Amino acid sequence: MGIRSWEVRGSEHRLTSPNGLTTASPPPPTLSHPRRLYLWALERERALESTMISAFLVLAVGTCLATSLVPEKEKDPKYWRDQAQQTLKNALRLQNLNTNVAKNIIMFLGDGMGVSTVTAARILKGQLHHNPGEETRLEMDKFPHVALSKTYNTNAQVPDSAGTATAYLCGVKANEGTVGVSAATQRSQCNTTRGNEVTSILRWAKDSGKSVGIVTTTRVNHATPSATYAHSADRDWYSDNEMPPEALSQGCKDIAYQLMHNIRDIEVILGGGRKYMFPKNTTDVEYEQDEKARGTRLDGLNLIDIWKSFKPRHKHSHYVWNRTELLALKPSTVDYLLGLFEPGDMQYELNRNNGTDPSLSEMVEIAIKILSKNPRGFFLLVEGGRIDHGHHEGKAKQALHEAVEMDLAIGQAGAMTSLEDTLTVVTADHSHVFTFGGYTPRGNSIFGLAPMVSDTDKKPFTAILYGNGPGYKVVGGERENVSMVDYAHNNYQAQSAVPLRHETHGGEDVAVFAKGPMAHLLHGVHEQNYIPHVMAYAACIGANRDHCASANSSGSPSPGPLLLLLALLPLGILF
């Protein structure tokens, strides 16, 4: 069987064999043993053939057209040359650095959005528009500057969302499970908190007169947003109900309490987490029968009332709990907005009730309308928080749709702001053990099968797989045959190598995409805690502001000391 390049089209099961590499086979022996190498090659060839044949029998539907997967325009080399030349032209323009002062900073945080998730979300987005998908450009793909972020926590090789949030929001690496405190604080040890608090870029922005906002699809007191305003030895201290008596007696406050008390004039807070704001057993406004949705607070406080009481009387503050109320608001008349749309985390985008729950894009649009009224600008943190949850559950489809929705929100923010005065950073806190592969052909459904069966257990497999997680499934002593299940279902749990009830984070670097003033400072392999230092520098907030005196906040590039010197020389002013 000499054919090495052939494809079978039909449904999403396509068979391809570029370079004869489409079969899994034993690793090559060392080259110093030619006999073994020969046997290996023979075995590999046989494996390839049997795989192809069985794959053909299992999967072949329709006609064989070797070139049908390739879009017509891509066959012309001119297409690729023009495309590359245009990219080059755009890249050359980047030599004129944007050194404006960033009036606004928007940070998009895809929780658990590792690079493999970004790529898969890109393909999904393209396929939702009926394209093959691989060629699609996400909104974040259009950002001119990209860096890598090293995500480890001070005490963890593979990090969690709390320690990482402290890094990319407060500029200091910390222990896993802690928020808004340095590595001197030990998780769950309340008495190691005091004196080790670190402040966030949200606070720095507030202190310099900017408006600030938090938008998330998780609870507003979840790990990511909480690092902007809280200092807690434990990310799980959502309300006092979740805290050990010892921590309460030592005077530590829960994160919901801190949200309302630490920085009292956060202009926009949108997300989930209603139950942590109300006294224990308070019936939820939306889920009256659901006991789990009831208030949790042991201290009897109504934090919504407290939030309202802290707002100046002459300002307009609004608390909303559903989409209708949110969309009915006139942002021009809103000074402070608190929106809590679920008792806990918000629903997955795929499951979202359009009557009661806003999308992430809708929340971002309203947030920017409110925040941008401040002539001194704003800082906004937007979290696509449930990419992470989809992955933990092994539900790749949920995770990827969350990522696509966050990308829509990035586009929404881009349409409402200018590169001249707004620094936008998109990144992730950490990755997941999520992968996709299997020599799938161009345009293969991202949720589809690899175009062959395993040469070992003779069963098909999905392109998407997890290193560990709840999708591990053995039926009758063998790996489950995925062709017997609906692997394109919203809640399908992709197979994993190791059984775990919750799939884990991944430890590799994540991408940082940046555009706008000083975006070029995100340019290489950085420690994660570098990110807020760049954002603060760009906006002339926080500690490092020496360069700001000569900078022009109106949006035109600052001349820089050397240029200034040259301009002054002919006037003899310096002599």
Q: Which is nearer to Zn ion, 284 or 388 (CB)?
A: 388
The stretch among 257-265, 383-391, 483-491, 559-567 that binds Zn ion (CB under 5 A) is 383-391
Q: Give min distance, CB of 113 to Zn ion, in A.
A: 11
Size, binding site for Zn ion by CB under 5 A = 1
Q: 268 near 106, Cβ under 8 Å?
A: no
Compute the C-alpha angle 451/134/522, nearest 5°: 130
Does residue 302 sit in helix, strand or coil?
coil
| Residue 383 is a binding residue for Zn ion (CB under 5 A) | no
The verdict on whether 161 is a catalytic residue reads: yes
User: From the CB of 405, what's the least distance to Zn ion, in Å?
Assistant: 18
Least distance in angstroms from the C-beta of 332 to Zn ion? 38
Strand partners, 15: 8
- Considering the complex, what minimum distance in angstroms separates the CB of residue 158 from Zn ion? 10
Residue closer to Zn ion by CB (options 388, 402) is: 388
| Complex with Zn ion: residue 432 or 515, whichever CB lies closer | 432
How far apart are alpha carbons 428 and 387 in whole angstroms?
Answer: 10
Q: What angle do CA 443, 4, 65 make, to 5 degrees?
A: 50
The residue assigned the tokens 């992968």 is 435
What are the start-end ranges of the E strands in 328-370? 336-340
What number of other Cβ atoms are within 10 A of residue 17's Cβ? 22
3-state DSSP helix/strand/coil % of the chain, to nearest 5:
35, 20, 45
Contact flags string 385-414 toward Zn ion, x per CB under 5 A: ---x--------------------------
> Toward Zn ion, which CB reaches closer, 114 or 343?
114
**CB neighbours of 526 closer than 8 A, spacing ≥ 6?**
147, 148, 149, 150, 512
The closest residue (CB) to Zn ion is: 388
Q: Are 190 and 233 in contact (CB under 8 A)?
A: yes
Of residues 43, 39, 2, the one with CA closest to residue 23: 43
267/388 with CB nearer Zn ion: 388
Q: Which of 17, 149, 161, 445 is catalytic?
A: 161
Task: Indicate if the alpha-carbon torsion angle 201, 207, 212, 215 is positive or negative.
Answer: positive
Shortest distance (Å) from residue 219 CB to Zn ion: 13
Fill in the amino acid letter for 349: E
Q: How far is the CB of 511 from Zn ion (least distance, A)?
A: 17
Q: Based on CB atoms, which residue is closest to Zn ion, 150 or 373?
A: 150
* Strands 431-432 and 268-272, bridge-based pairing: unpaired
Alpha helices in 336-422 (DSSP H): 360-371, 387-392, 396-416
- The answer to whether residues 139 and 384 touch, using CB atoms and an 8 Å cutoff, is no
Give catalytic residue positions. 161
Judged by the rule CB under 5 A, the positions of this chain that interact with Zn ion are 388
